[in-house]
Structure 1
Amino acid sequence: MNQDDQHLSDPAAVVPGVEPDVPAEGGRRRKRSRKLPGCLAALVALAILVGGLYFGVTKGVDLLRDQFADPEDYPGPGQGKVNFQVEEGDTLSEMGRNLKSAGVVASVQAFINAANGDPESSGIQVGYYKLKKEMAAADALDVLVDPQNILKNTVTVPEGLRVVDIVKVLAKNTDFTKGQYEKVLDQPGRLGLPGYAGGDPEGYLFPSTYDLPPDATARSIIVAMVDRWQQAADEAGLEEKAAAMGYTPHELMTVASLVESEAGRQEDRGKVAQVIYNRLTGDETNGLLQIDATVNFAADQSLGAVPTEADLQIDSPYNTYLNPGLPPGPIEAPGDAAIEAAANPTDGPWYYYVTVNLRTGETKFAETYDEFLTYKNELRDYCENESQGAC
């Protein structure tokens, strides 16, 4: 056997430049990993590079086309009806996307282009707007930049109303019936009332002017009133002030409702609140508030009525002529000023007050019962001589 034959027959022989197959356990040989020939690998890499460049160039062309080509836009004037909402914090791009999604405009870019050409577009206000499907972007923008186009049903609930009276106002000025509001109020756990309200909405439906959106419901309106009350309570520091004064927030709301019923002028609210606190804790009155409005609440009659002798004997925890201390809860809905007065009463020694002029609302405050009688006589003179039957 020559040397060349030995290399061919001997498995252990090593041929220079060639890696031998080494048997694995069990006598089998491992398969060699196959590598692409160098020229083929280079061609594959080149193909990937060319493909990536093509995708990048194509995408860039598309972006440039979107940027500089005229975006798709409807000719208008549009059709049908769309109640479109602009929400707090919406950017022009978000408005454009929402408009396109609602079928109002053909493309986001058409709306953005229209907005960029109109300086008033930066002042678009939150709310609902009546638009159409397939509007020209500029026409849709014209509607949105004018706050007069905001869809709303404005309802004003005045201060000093009981829940039953608030329901009447809402039923008269909205599309919902008295029964629908009462059904909502029968589920107080879903209204957002504070725990200390005890599930009773009396005093917690805040009196204010409300702009109701087109999708308002009887429940959403009541909840909005409770939310507005919470805002007023937070601004007055109701819970903190109650704790500092030794009362519960519910008791302060009760005081606020009494202030609302008794004080006719802004300058008197803090003083009336102080009279209530003085009467609750002082020896002068044995804790009896003797407020007519609470008796009228118990009698289910107008809070401004003059109680009869029979009314004053009504057996009710709301009768503050018979029961010392505060009534169980608010008797009407107080506004911002009354809540503020209850939380921040005007310091003073008064136990009594008398409105001596019903035309101007002038009210005088007294520290003693004798002084109180003097002011009552002044009111009597006014009623006899100047009121022309107003008393």
Structure 2
Amino acid sequence: MSDLYTSDTSEEEVIRPRRQRRRRRKRSRFGSFVAVLASLAVIGAVLGGIYYGGNAVLNSVDGLFGEPEDFPGPGTGEVPVTIEEGATLRAMGATLVEAGVVASQDAFIAAADQNPDARSIQPGNYVLRSEMSAADAVAALVSGAGGERVSLAEGLRVRQTVERLAETSGFTVEELQAAVDAATLPEYTEGDPEGFLFPASYGLGGDVTPESLVAAMVARFEQAATEVDLVNRAAALGYTPREIVTVASIVQREVRREEDMPRVAEVIYNRLTGACAANGVVQERLQMDSTVHYAFDDYTTVYTTPEQRQSDSPYNTYRVSGLPPGPIASPGEAALAAALNPSSDGYCYFVAVNLETGETAFGVTPEDQQANEAQLDEYCRESDLC
């Protein structure tokens, strides 16, 4: 029994201290909770300050840069600009910024949004001013889109280009030829515009003059030359830029299909280097009818006569070895690219075997050429184009 009593007494004495400890523990936890709340309040205040302060900064920046940069206009000088096929308004804006026509892409887009006719802007070549207001630039492009245009095909010589422009532009042959003669050309042209008036579509509206029109053609050539890296890649091939354009002009006149152009370029280089000497091509002669046509300014037929092939012209590549003195026509981008990227199949010969489609057959040996010429003879028996 006494054991039971002792046990009760001892329980009483033990329980009291435990309760006291629990109460103290509760008070401690409450204090921690208050401290956490206070910390959160401080953090919230800091974050709130950052938020509102940040908003104030952003609002200040927005106020500073709310309007896109724009030139006051109306601009000066003449700047040839090409709007590419399928270009968006943003892409047009980037082109104009790069050319120094407008101050910012955003200003151009904003101005286009305000002009209901901006969606009618057409691809092509335009002559604008340096540092125009975005609104004026949009209006000029819209005006050019609605005006008359002239398209120049690949393979025209300067005379043909001038005559084509005179037919469409309202300018005289004399005015246009004077503009060509006075044009600023790349140094490697050696002052000769032949081959450097780029074939493309050009606007005739607005303030276009003979000088600005010719300047746009030269600028478009320089753009194409930059795209194919003409200067550096010509040097890598061991030729001058003018010589590469000469090769490209022959390629342009000899075949119509783009897939044939690198092969014709290869034939030219193989003949120039003497690689075809073992296959019957003597004295590094090109033997191209296109250069003879240029010498006689005669494009009434794809053939040349024996008398023409005996002429003393430096453009008669049947008698003169090497390249002719310069380009014989204005090559397009495909011909320029082919002159810089010839095929490597060992070709020394080619002949058109279908004058309607432009299909061309290539060969390595004289026997290959004879077989291909037999195809042409068979075609000509059924066609009036021969």
TM range (shorter): 0.5 to 0.7
How far apart in 2 are the matches of 1:231 and 1:182? 23
Superimposed CA distance per residue, residues 71-105 of structure 1 (whole angstroms, 9 cap, x where no aligned partner): xxxxxxxxxxxxxxx9743579989xxxxxxxxxx
Q: State the match for 2:160 in structure 1.
A: 165
Gap change, CA 1:370 and 1:196, over 3 Å in 2: same
How far apart in 1 are the matches of 2:359 and 2:105? 54
Give 3-state SS (helix, strand or coil) of 1:357's partner. Answer: coil
Q: 1:263 offset after TM fit, Å?
A: 1.4
Gap change, CA 1:364 and 1:214, over 3 Å in 2: same
Is residue 377 of structure 1 aligned with residue 369 of structure 2? no
Q: State the match for 2:19 in structure 1.
A: none
Contact 2:194 2:327 in 1 (8 A): yes
Q: What are the residue-to-residue correspondences of 1:1-391 with 2, within 5 Å?
A: 88-89=101-102, 147=142, 150-187=145-182, 191-281=183-273, 282=275, 283=277, 284=279, 285=281, 286-302=283-299, 304-384=301-381, 386-387=382-383, 389-391=384-386
More RCO (CA 8 Å, sep 6+)? 2
How far apart in 2 are the matches of 1:93 and 1:324? 56
Aligned AA (1:89): V
Q: 1:377 offset after TM fit, Å?
A: 1.0
Aligned AA (1:293): S
Give 3-state SS (helix, strand or coil) of 2:343's partner. Answer: coil
Contact 2:118 2:142 in 1 (8 A): no
Q: 1:175 offset after TM fit, Å?
A: 2.3
Contact 2:140 2:206 in 1 (8 A): no
CA RMSD of aligned residues (A): 3.3
Contact 2:144 2:204 in 1 (8 A): no
Aligned AA (2:294): F
How far apart in 2 are the matches of 1:169 and 1:345? 31
TM-score by length of 2: 0.64
Superimposed CA distance per residue, residues 42-66 of structure 1 (whole angstroms, 9 cap, x where no aligned partner): xxxxxxxxxxxxxxxxxxxxxxxxx
Gap change, CA 1:218 and 1:246, over 3 Å in 2: same
How far apart in 1 are the matches of 2:177 and 2:380? 41
The structure with more helix, counted as a fraction of residues: 2
Q: 1:359 offset after TM fit, Å?
A: 2.5
How far apart in 1 are the matches of 2:270 and 2:238? 14
Contact 1:296 1:303 in 2 (8 A): no
Gap change, CA 1:374 and 1:365, over 3 Å in 2: same
Gap change, CA 1:345 and 1:124, over 3 Å in 2: same
Contact 1:320 1:327 in 2 (8 A): yes
How far apart in 1 are the matches of 2:189 and 2:141? 41
Superimposed CA distance per residue, residues 317-349 of structure 1 (whole angstroms, 9 cap, x where no aligned partner): 100000010000000110010001001112220
How far apart in 2 are the matches of 1:237 and 1:360? 31
How far apart in 2 are the matches of 1:122 and 1:246? 47
Give 3-state SS (helix, strand or coil) of 2:309's partner. Answer: helix
Gap change, CA 1:335 and 1:148, over 3 Å in 2: same
Superimposed CA distance per residue, residues 245-280 of structure 1 (whole angstroms, 9 cap, x where no aligned partner): 111111100000000001121110111111110111
How far apart in 2 are the matches of 1:183 and 1:363? 39
Between 1:298-307 and 1:252-261, the stretch displaced more is: 298-307
How far apart in 1 are the matches of 2:195 and 2:140? 38
Superimposed CA distance per residue, residues 334-373 of structure 1 (whole angstroms, 9 cap, x where no aligned partner): 0010001001112220000111122222211100011111
Give 3-state SS (helix, strand or coil) of 1:155's partner. Answer: strand
Contact 1:160 1:257 in 2 (8 A): yes
How far apart in 1 are the matches of 2:158 and 2:304? 21
Q: 1:312 offset after TM fit, Å?
A: 0.7
Gap change, CA 1:235 and 1:93, over 3 Å in 2: closer
TM-score by length of 1: 0.63
Contact 2:127 2:208 in 1 (8 A): no
How far apart in 2 are the matches of 1:325 and 1:262? 17
Gap change, CA 1:92 and 1:201, over 3 Å in 2: closer
Contact 1:121 1:145 in 2 (8 A): no
Structure 2 gap segments, 5+ residues each: 1-92, 129-134
Structure 1 gap segments, 5+ residues each: 1-85, 96-111, 130-139
